[in-house]
Amino acid sequence: MDINIKPKLFETKVYQPLLASFDKITDLRSKRGVRYKLQPFGILLFLSKLGGADRPAEIADWVKFRFAELKSLLNLDWKRSPHEVTWKRILENAIEAVEVEKVFGEYLFSMSEEEERFWNLDGKVVCGSKSEETDKQLHLLALQESEVNLVVEQTALLEGENEISAGKRLLGKVNLLGKIVSGDAIFGQKELSKIVVESGGEYLWRVASQSRENI
Q: Mind listing the pLDDT tens digit of every residue in the chain (215 residues)? A: 433 334 455 555 556 777 788 888 888 888 777 778 888 898 899 889 888 888 899 999 999 999 999 988 888 899 999 999 999 999 888 888 878 888 887 777 666 555 567 899 998 887 655 666 666 777 889 888 876 667 788 888 888 889 999 999 999 988 898 889 999 988 999 999 999 999 999 998 887 655 555 55
Structural domains present in the chain: 8-95 (no CATH), 115-214 (3.30.420.10)
The neighbour count for residue 25, using CB atoms within 10 Å, is 20
In the prediction, which pLDDT does 5 show? Answer: 36
Decide: helix, strand or coil at residue 20.
helix
pTM: predicted TM-score of the whole model, two decimal places = 0.49
**pLDDT value, residue 68:** 92
List the beta bridge partners of residue 182.
120, 204
CA-to-CA distance for 141 and 122, rounded, in angstroms?
6
CA separation for the pair 171, 154 (Å, rounded) = 9
- Cα distance between residue 159 and residue 162, in whole Å: 9
Describe the crossing of helices 38-50 and 12-22 by its angle, rounded to 10 degrees: 120
Residue 189 near residue 213, CB atoms below 8 Å: no
